[in-house]
Amino acid sequence: MPDILWITGGRVIDPANKRDAIGDVYIIDGIISNDISEDQKRFAKKIDATGLVVTPGLVDIHVHFRDPGQTHKESIRTGTEAAAAGGFTTVVCMPNTSPVCDNAGTIQRIIDKVARDAVVNVYPTGCLTLGMEGERLAPTGQLKKAGVVAMTDNGKCVQSNEIMRRAVEYAKMFDLTILDHCQDETQTEGAVMNEGEWSLRLGLRGWPKFAEDIMVARNVLLAELTGAHIHMQHVSSANSIDIIRRAKERNAPVTAEACPHHFAFTDANLHDYDTSFKVNPPLRTDADREAIIEGLKDGTLDCIASDHAPHNATEKDCEFDIAPLGIIGLETSLAASLSTLYHSGRLSLSEVIALMTHKAAAICKLDSGTLSAGATADICLFDLDEEWTVDADQFFSKSRNCPWHGQRLTGSVKATYVAGKPVFDGQSIIA
Protein backbone atom coordinates (compact mmCIF):
# COMPACT_ATOMS: atom_id res chain seq x y z
CA MET A 1 0.00 0.00 0.00
CA PRO A 2 1.47 3.40 -0.98
CA ASP A 3 2.00 6.14 1.59
CA ILE A 4 -0.87 8.57 0.98
CA LEU A 5 -1.30 12.04 2.51
CA TRP A 6 -4.47 14.08 1.98
CA ILE A 7 -4.37 17.76 2.95
CA THR A 8 -7.92 19.06 2.92
CA GLY A 9 -9.85 22.26 3.54
CA GLY A 10 -7.00 24.77 3.21
CA ARG A 11 -6.64 27.74 0.91
CA VAL A 12 -4.28 26.31 -1.69
CA ILE A 13 -2.03 28.92 -3.32
CA ASP A 14 0.21 27.64 -6.09
CA PRO A 15 1.21 30.69 -8.18
CA ALA A 16 3.11 28.64 -10.77
CA ASN A 17 -0.19 27.01 -11.72
CA LYS A 18 -2.35 30.10 -11.04
CA ARG A 19 -4.21 28.25 -8.30
CA ASP A 20 -5.80 30.12 -5.40
CA ALA A 21 -8.85 28.40 -3.93
CA ILE A 22 -10.06 26.29 -1.04
CA GLY A 23 -9.22 22.72 -2.00
CA ASP A 24 -7.27 19.54 -1.46
CA VAL A 25 -3.68 18.47 -2.03
CA TYR A 26 -2.93 14.78 -2.54
CA ILE A 27 0.47 13.15 -2.02
CA ILE A 28 1.33 9.57 -2.97
CA ASP A 29 4.75 8.31 -1.86
CA GLY A 30 6.08 11.85 -1.55
CA ILE A 31 4.83 13.02 -4.96
CA ILE A 32 1.98 15.44 -5.70
CA SER A 33 -1.00 13.79 -7.38
CA ASN A 34 -3.97 15.41 -9.12
CA ASP A 35 -6.38 13.07 -7.38
CA ILE A 36 -6.67 9.82 -5.45
CA SER A 37 -9.31 7.12 -5.66
CA GLU A 38 -12.11 6.67 -3.16
CA ASP A 39 -10.38 3.51 -1.97
CA GLN A 40 -7.11 5.42 -1.45
CA LYS A 41 -8.97 8.12 0.49
CA ARG A 42 -10.03 5.51 3.03
CA PHE A 43 -6.39 4.64 3.76
CA ALA A 44 -4.94 8.16 3.44
CA LYS A 45 -3.54 10.11 6.36
CA LYS A 46 -5.85 13.12 6.40
CA ILE A 47 -4.62 16.57 7.46
CA ASP A 48 -7.30 19.16 8.18
CA ALA A 49 -5.93 22.50 6.94
CA THR A 50 -9.13 24.48 7.47
CA GLY A 51 -8.25 28.10 8.15
CA LEU A 52 -4.68 27.67 6.89
CA VAL A 53 -2.90 28.57 3.67
CA VAL A 54 -1.29 25.65 1.81
CA THR A 55 1.59 26.55 -0.51
CA PRO A 56 4.60 24.95 -2.12
CA GLY A 57 7.52 24.75 0.28
CA LEU A 58 9.31 28.10 0.29
CA VAL A 59 12.59 28.52 -1.61
CA ASP A 60 15.49 30.72 -0.44
CA ILE A 61 18.42 31.08 -2.85
CA HIS A 62 20.64 33.09 -0.49
CA VAL A 63 21.60 31.61 2.88
CA HIS A 64 24.81 31.18 4.89
CA PHE A 65 25.07 28.01 6.97
CA ARG A 66 28.75 28.51 8.01
CA ASP A 67 29.44 24.81 7.53
CA PRO A 68 32.26 23.80 7.25
CA GLY A 69 34.52 25.81 9.48
CA GLN A 70 32.26 28.20 11.42
CA THR A 71 29.78 25.85 13.06
CA HIS A 72 29.82 27.87 16.29
CA LYS A 73 27.54 30.24 14.31
CA GLU A 74 25.45 27.73 12.37
CA SER A 75 25.60 24.21 10.97
CA ILE A 76 23.84 22.28 8.26
CA ARG A 77 21.60 20.76 10.91
CA THR A 78 20.64 23.95 12.77
CA GLY A 79 20.41 26.00 9.58
CA THR A 80 18.00 23.56 7.98
CA GLU A 81 15.98 23.33 11.19
CA ALA A 82 15.64 27.12 11.07
CA ALA A 83 14.62 26.85 7.42
CA ALA A 84 11.95 24.23 8.17
CA ALA A 85 10.57 26.37 11.02
CA GLY A 86 10.30 29.25 8.55
CA GLY A 87 8.41 27.17 5.97
CA PHE A 88 11.40 26.72 3.66
CA THR A 89 11.96 23.34 2.03
CA THR A 90 14.73 24.35 -0.38
CA VAL A 91 17.73 26.59 0.24
CA VAL A 92 20.86 27.55 -1.69
CA CYS A 93 24.00 27.97 0.43
CA MET A 94 26.69 30.54 -0.23
CA PRO A 95 30.32 29.40 -0.61
CA ASN A 96 32.04 31.68 1.93
CA THR A 97 32.70 28.85 4.37
CA SER A 98 36.06 27.84 5.86
CA PRO A 99 37.54 26.61 3.59
CA VAL A 100 35.66 28.36 0.82
CA CYS A 101 33.87 26.32 -1.86
CA ASP A 102 36.40 26.70 -4.65
CA ASN A 103 37.12 22.99 -5.19
CA ALA A 104 35.20 19.76 -5.73
CA GLY A 105 36.39 18.28 -2.43
CA THR A 106 34.75 20.94 -0.30
CA ILE A 107 31.53 20.66 -2.33
CA GLN A 108 31.48 16.89 -1.78
CA ARG A 109 32.08 17.41 1.94
CA ILE A 110 29.03 19.67 2.10
CA ILE A 111 26.87 17.30 0.04
CA ASP A 112 27.83 14.40 2.33
CA LYS A 113 26.95 16.40 5.42
CA VAL A 114 23.66 17.51 3.90
CA ALA A 115 22.78 13.85 3.29
CA ARG A 116 23.47 13.07 6.96
CA ASP A 117 22.14 16.13 8.78
CA ALA A 118 19.80 18.29 6.67
CA VAL A 119 16.04 18.28 7.23
CA VAL A 120 15.31 20.29 4.04
CA ASN A 121 16.81 20.35 0.54
CA VAL A 122 20.19 22.13 0.41
CA TYR A 123 22.05 23.08 -2.77
CA PRO A 124 25.65 24.36 -2.74
CA THR A 125 27.20 27.12 -4.81
CA GLY A 126 30.77 27.42 -6.02
CA CYS A 127 33.21 30.33 -5.88
CA LEU A 128 33.85 32.40 -8.97
CA THR A 129 37.51 32.84 -8.00
CA LEU A 130 40.05 30.84 -6.02
CA GLY A 131 39.93 31.71 -2.35
CA MET A 132 37.27 34.30 -3.19
CA GLU A 133 40.23 36.62 -3.75
CA GLY A 134 39.05 37.93 -7.12
CA GLU A 135 42.33 37.17 -8.88
CA ARG A 136 42.22 33.68 -10.47
CA LEU A 137 39.21 31.77 -11.72
CA ALA A 138 37.93 28.78 -9.78
CA PRO A 139 37.50 25.50 -11.75
CA THR A 140 33.94 26.09 -12.93
CA GLY A 141 33.60 22.79 -14.78
CA GLN A 142 34.78 20.73 -11.82
CA LEU A 143 32.44 22.59 -9.48
CA LYS A 144 29.49 22.03 -11.80
CA LYS A 145 30.30 18.32 -11.97
CA ALA A 146 30.57 18.23 -8.16
CA GLY A 147 27.01 19.54 -7.84
CA VAL A 148 26.91 23.33 -7.52
CA VAL A 149 23.80 25.10 -8.83
CA ALA A 150 25.31 28.58 -9.27
CA MET A 151 28.59 30.50 -9.08
CA THR A 152 29.27 33.39 -6.72
CA ASP A 153 31.92 35.06 -4.59
CA ASN A 154 29.12 36.13 -2.24
CA GLY A 155 30.39 38.15 0.68
CA LYS A 156 32.84 39.66 -1.75
CA CYS A 157 32.51 41.17 -5.19
CA VAL A 158 35.03 40.54 -7.98
CA GLN A 159 36.58 43.99 -8.42
CA SER A 160 38.41 43.35 -11.68
CA ASN A 161 36.12 43.76 -14.68
CA GLU A 162 38.41 41.52 -16.75
CA ILE A 163 38.32 38.67 -14.20
CA MET A 164 34.57 39.06 -13.83
CA ARG A 165 34.07 38.91 -17.59
CA ARG A 166 36.01 35.65 -17.85
CA ALA A 167 34.20 34.17 -14.84
CA VAL A 168 30.86 35.06 -16.41
CA GLU A 169 31.86 33.52 -19.73
CA TYR A 170 32.86 30.23 -18.08
CA ALA A 171 29.67 30.14 -16.01
CA LYS A 172 27.62 30.56 -19.18
CA MET A 173 29.59 27.77 -20.83
CA PHE A 174 28.48 25.41 -18.06
CA ASP A 175 24.91 26.81 -17.90
CA LEU A 176 25.31 28.18 -14.38
CA THR A 177 23.71 31.35 -13.05
CA ILE A 178 26.06 33.94 -11.59
CA LEU A 179 24.91 35.34 -8.24
CA ASP A 180 26.68 38.61 -7.49
CA HIS A 181 27.09 40.66 -4.34
CA CYS A 182 27.40 44.11 -5.93
CA GLN A 183 29.91 46.29 -4.11
CA ASP A 184 32.71 48.58 -5.30
CA GLU A 185 35.10 48.12 -2.39
CA THR A 186 37.00 51.33 -3.17
CA GLN A 187 33.88 53.20 -2.03
CA THR A 188 33.19 51.24 1.17
CA GLU A 189 36.47 50.88 3.06
CA GLY A 190 35.68 51.42 6.74
CA ALA A 191 32.00 52.05 6.01
CA VAL A 192 29.44 50.59 8.42
CA MET A 193 26.04 52.06 7.45
CA ASN A 194 24.26 53.92 4.68
CA GLU A 195 25.81 57.24 3.73
CA GLY A 196 23.28 59.95 4.53
CA GLU A 197 21.56 61.90 7.27
CA TRP A 198 21.74 59.10 9.85
CA SER A 199 25.42 58.33 9.31
CA LEU A 200 26.11 62.03 9.94
CA ARG A 201 23.94 62.06 13.06
CA LEU A 202 25.56 58.95 14.47
CA GLY A 203 29.11 59.85 13.50
CA LEU A 204 29.60 56.62 11.54
CA ARG A 205 31.42 56.10 8.25
CA GLY A 206 28.89 56.18 5.41
CA TRP A 207 28.43 53.49 2.75
CA PRO A 208 27.34 55.18 -0.49
CA LYS A 209 24.65 53.66 -2.70
CA PHE A 210 26.94 54.38 -5.61
CA ALA A 211 29.10 51.44 -4.49
CA GLU A 212 26.21 49.12 -5.35
CA ASP A 213 24.94 51.01 -8.37
CA ILE A 214 28.23 50.93 -10.27
CA MET A 215 28.58 47.15 -9.95
CA VAL A 216 24.96 46.55 -10.89
CA ALA A 217 25.55 48.62 -14.03
CA ARG A 218 28.73 46.66 -14.78
CA ASN A 219 26.89 43.36 -14.44
CA VAL A 220 24.12 44.51 -16.76
CA LEU A 221 26.73 45.36 -19.39
CA LEU A 222 28.49 42.02 -18.92
CA ALA A 223 25.22 40.11 -19.19
CA GLU A 224 24.37 41.90 -22.41
CA LEU A 225 27.87 41.35 -23.77
CA THR A 226 28.12 37.65 -22.97
CA GLY A 227 24.50 36.50 -22.85
CA ALA A 228 25.14 35.03 -19.40
CA HIS A 229 22.48 35.13 -16.68
CA ILE A 230 23.66 37.40 -13.86
CA HIS A 231 21.56 37.68 -10.73
CA MET A 232 21.99 40.68 -8.45
CA GLN A 233 21.80 39.75 -4.79
CA HIS A 234 20.18 41.76 -1.95
CA VAL A 235 19.50 44.90 -3.99
CA SER A 236 19.14 47.89 -1.66
CA SER A 237 19.40 51.02 -3.79
CA ALA A 238 16.65 52.80 -5.75
CA ASN A 239 19.20 53.68 -8.43
CA SER A 240 20.17 50.02 -8.83
CA ILE A 241 16.53 49.07 -9.23
CA ASP A 242 16.13 51.68 -11.95
CA ILE A 243 19.22 50.31 -13.75
CA ILE A 244 17.81 46.76 -13.59
CA ARG A 245 14.36 47.90 -14.73
CA ARG A 246 15.78 49.60 -17.82
CA ALA A 247 17.99 46.57 -18.54
CA LYS A 248 14.98 44.28 -18.47
CA GLU A 249 13.19 46.56 -20.93
CA ARG A 250 16.08 45.70 -23.28
CA ASN A 251 15.65 41.99 -22.45
CA ALA A 252 19.05 41.79 -20.76
CA PRO A 253 19.51 38.37 -19.08
CA VAL A 254 19.55 39.75 -15.54
CA THR A 255 17.51 39.04 -12.42
CA ALA A 256 17.59 40.43 -8.89
CA GLU A 257 16.40 39.77 -5.35
CA ALA A 258 15.28 41.76 -2.33
CA CYS A 259 15.61 40.87 1.35
CA PRO A 260 12.89 41.40 3.96
CA HIS A 261 15.13 43.58 6.12
CA HIS A 262 15.69 45.97 3.22
CA PHE A 263 11.97 46.49 2.62
CA ALA A 264 11.00 46.43 6.31
CA PHE A 265 13.64 48.73 7.87
CA THR A 266 15.66 51.85 7.08
CA ASP A 267 18.89 53.41 8.29
CA ALA A 268 16.86 55.26 10.93
CA ASN A 269 16.55 51.93 12.77
CA LEU A 270 20.23 52.27 13.67
CA HIS A 271 19.49 55.35 15.81
CA ASP A 272 20.62 53.59 18.99
CA TYR A 273 23.59 51.75 17.44
CA ASP A 274 21.86 48.35 17.57
CA THR A 275 24.23 45.95 15.76
CA SER A 276 21.30 43.64 14.96
CA PHE A 277 20.55 46.11 12.14
CA LYS A 278 24.11 46.14 10.79
CA VAL A 279 24.01 44.32 7.47
CA ASN A 280 25.70 44.23 4.05
CA PRO A 281 24.53 46.08 2.01
CA PRO A 282 23.32 48.46 4.69
CA LEU A 283 19.75 49.50 5.39
CA ARG A 284 19.01 52.50 3.18
CA THR A 285 16.52 55.37 3.24
CA ASP A 286 12.73 55.19 3.16
CA ALA A 287 12.85 56.19 -0.53
CA ASP A 288 15.01 53.15 -1.24
CA ARG A 289 12.69 50.95 0.82
CA GLU A 290 9.71 52.15 -1.22
CA ALA A 291 11.60 51.56 -4.46
CA ILE A 292 12.30 47.96 -3.41
CA ILE A 293 8.63 47.30 -2.75
CA GLU A 294 7.69 48.85 -6.09
CA GLY A 295 10.37 46.73 -7.78
CA LEU A 296 8.88 43.58 -6.28
CA LYS A 297 5.43 44.68 -7.40
CA ASP A 298 6.32 45.42 -11.02
CA GLY A 299 8.67 42.47 -11.55
CA THR A 300 11.95 44.36 -11.64
CA LEU A 301 12.99 42.33 -8.60
CA ASP A 302 12.39 38.64 -9.20
CA CYS A 303 12.35 37.04 -5.77
CA ILE A 304 12.69 37.44 -2.03
CA ALA A 305 15.72 35.94 -0.27
CA SER A 306 16.68 36.09 3.39
CA ASP A 307 20.49 36.48 3.21
CA HIS A 308 20.44 34.47 6.47
CA ALA A 309 23.85 35.38 7.95
CA PRO A 310 24.39 34.05 11.48
CA HIS A 311 26.84 35.58 13.95
CA ASN A 312 27.07 34.66 17.61
CA ALA A 313 26.35 37.05 20.48
CA THR A 314 29.95 37.74 21.44
CA GLU A 315 30.68 38.91 17.89
CA LYS A 316 27.67 41.22 17.65
CA ASP A 317 27.73 42.51 21.25
CA CYS A 318 30.46 45.11 20.78
CA GLU A 319 31.11 48.57 19.38
CA PHE A 320 29.11 49.21 16.21
CA ASP A 321 32.20 49.89 14.10
CA ILE A 322 33.74 46.46 14.72
CA ALA A 323 30.62 44.25 14.84
CA PRO A 324 30.32 41.89 11.84
CA LEU A 325 27.82 42.57 9.08
CA GLY A 326 24.79 40.30 8.79
CA ILE A 327 21.48 39.22 10.29
CA ILE A 328 19.50 35.98 10.50
CA GLY A 329 16.22 35.73 8.61
CA LEU A 330 14.98 32.24 7.83
CA GLU A 331 12.57 32.03 10.76
CA THR A 332 11.10 35.49 10.15
CA SER A 333 11.24 35.82 6.35
CA LEU A 334 7.68 34.70 5.58
CA ALA A 335 6.05 36.63 8.42
CA ALA A 336 8.11 39.76 7.71
CA SER A 337 7.19 39.60 4.01
CA LEU A 338 3.50 39.05 4.77
CA SER A 339 3.46 41.83 7.36
CA THR A 340 5.24 44.38 5.18
CA LEU A 341 3.94 43.49 1.73
CA TYR A 342 0.60 41.68 2.02
CA HIS A 343 -1.03 42.95 5.21
CA SER A 344 -0.13 46.50 4.20
CA GLY A 345 -1.96 46.02 0.88
CA ARG A 346 1.11 46.49 -1.30
CA LEU A 347 1.18 43.00 -2.89
CA SER A 348 -1.39 40.24 -3.17
CA LEU A 349 -0.87 37.02 -1.27
CA SER A 350 -0.25 35.12 -4.49
CA GLU A 351 2.39 37.68 -5.51
CA VAL A 352 4.25 37.28 -2.21
CA ILE A 353 4.16 33.48 -2.40
CA ALA A 354 5.35 33.51 -6.02
CA LEU A 355 8.38 35.59 -5.00
CA MET A 356 9.22 33.00 -2.34
CA THR A 357 8.57 29.82 -4.35
CA HIS A 358 8.72 29.15 -8.09
CA LYS A 359 10.20 32.53 -9.06
CA ALA A 360 13.09 32.02 -6.66
CA ALA A 361 13.61 28.42 -7.81
CA ALA A 362 13.73 29.44 -11.48
CA ILE A 363 16.79 31.65 -10.95
CA CYS A 364 18.98 28.65 -10.08
CA LYS A 365 17.01 26.24 -12.31
CA LEU A 366 15.74 24.26 -9.32
CA ASP A 367 12.88 21.80 -9.66
CA SER A 368 11.03 23.29 -6.67
CA GLY A 369 8.33 25.73 -5.73
CA THR A 370 5.18 24.22 -7.25
CA LEU A 371 2.33 21.87 -6.40
CA SER A 372 2.19 20.48 -9.94
CA ALA A 373 1.24 16.85 -10.36
CA GLY A 374 4.44 14.82 -10.38
CA ALA A 375 6.38 17.38 -8.33
CA THR A 376 8.06 16.42 -5.08
CA ALA A 377 5.63 17.14 -2.23
CA ASP A 378 7.46 19.97 -0.49
CA ILE A 379 4.71 21.92 1.27
CA CYS A 380 4.22 24.75 3.75
CA LEU A 381 1.08 25.34 5.85
CA PHE A 382 0.70 28.67 7.60
CA ASP A 383 -1.84 30.79 9.45
CA LEU A 384 -2.10 34.01 7.47
CA ASP A 385 -3.51 36.14 10.28
CA GLU A 386 -1.90 34.85 13.47
CA GLU A 387 0.16 37.50 15.24
CA TRP A 388 3.24 36.55 17.25
CA THR A 389 6.08 38.25 19.05
CA VAL A 390 9.53 37.41 17.70
CA ASP A 391 11.73 35.84 20.37
CA ALA A 392 15.12 35.09 18.85
CA ASP A 393 16.12 33.20 22.00
CA GLN A 394 13.63 30.49 20.98
CA PHE A 395 14.91 30.14 17.40
CA PHE A 396 16.30 26.90 15.99
CA SER A 397 19.24 28.83 14.54
CA LYS A 398 22.37 28.86 16.69
CA SER A 399 22.62 32.63 16.34
CA ARG A 400 20.41 35.42 17.66
CA ASN A 401 21.32 38.43 15.50
CA CYS A 402 17.72 39.15 14.54
CA PRO A 403 16.49 42.73 13.94
CA TRP A 404 12.85 41.65 14.47
CA HIS A 405 13.51 40.45 18.03
CA GLY A 406 10.71 41.70 20.29
CA GLN A 407 8.56 42.91 17.40
CA ARG A 408 5.10 41.71 16.39
CA LEU A 409 4.70 39.98 13.03
CA THR A 410 1.65 38.48 11.34
CA GLY A 411 1.75 35.05 9.72
CA SER A 412 2.81 31.85 11.47
CA VAL A 413 4.11 28.60 9.99
CA LYS A 414 2.13 25.60 11.24
CA ALA A 415 3.68 22.71 9.30
CA THR A 416 6.44 21.98 6.81
CA TYR A 417 6.66 18.83 4.69
CA VAL A 418 9.62 17.63 2.63
CA ALA A 419 8.87 14.92 0.07
CA GLY A 420 5.58 14.32 1.83
CA LYS A 421 7.18 13.78 5.24
CA PRO A 422 6.59 16.21 8.14
CA VAL A 423 9.73 18.00 9.30
CA PHE A 424 8.14 20.78 11.39
CA ASP A 425 4.80 20.73 13.23
CA GLY A 426 4.54 24.39 14.24
CA GLN A 427 6.57 23.93 17.41
CA SER A 428 9.13 21.16 17.01
CA ILE A 429 11.41 19.68 14.38
CA ILE A 430 10.22 16.15 13.59
CA ALA A 431 12.90 14.87 11.24
How does DSSP assign 147-202, residue by residue?
Answer: T-SEE--TTS----HHHHHHHHHHHHHTT-EEEE----GGGTTT--EESSHHHHHH
Cis peptide before 68 (omega within 30 of 0): yes
In degrees and rounded to multiples of 5, residue 292 shows phi and psi of -65, -45
Phi, psi of 387 (to 5 degrees): -90, 145
Contact (Cβ atoms closer than 8 angstroms) between residue 382 and residue 394:
no
What is the maximal distance between C-alpha atoms in the chain? 71
d(CA 349, CA 420): 24
What are the residue numbers of the active site? 307
Class of residue 31 by CB neighbours under 10 A (exposed 0-12, middle 13-18, buried 19+) = middle
The residue type found at 194 is N
Length of the chain: 431
Please name which of 215, 269, 204, 268 lies closest in space to residue 237, comparing C-alpha atoms: 215
Q: Is the peptide bond before 2 cis (omega within 30 degrees of 0)?
A: no
The residue among 142, 166, 87, 84 whose CA lies nearest residue 117 is 84
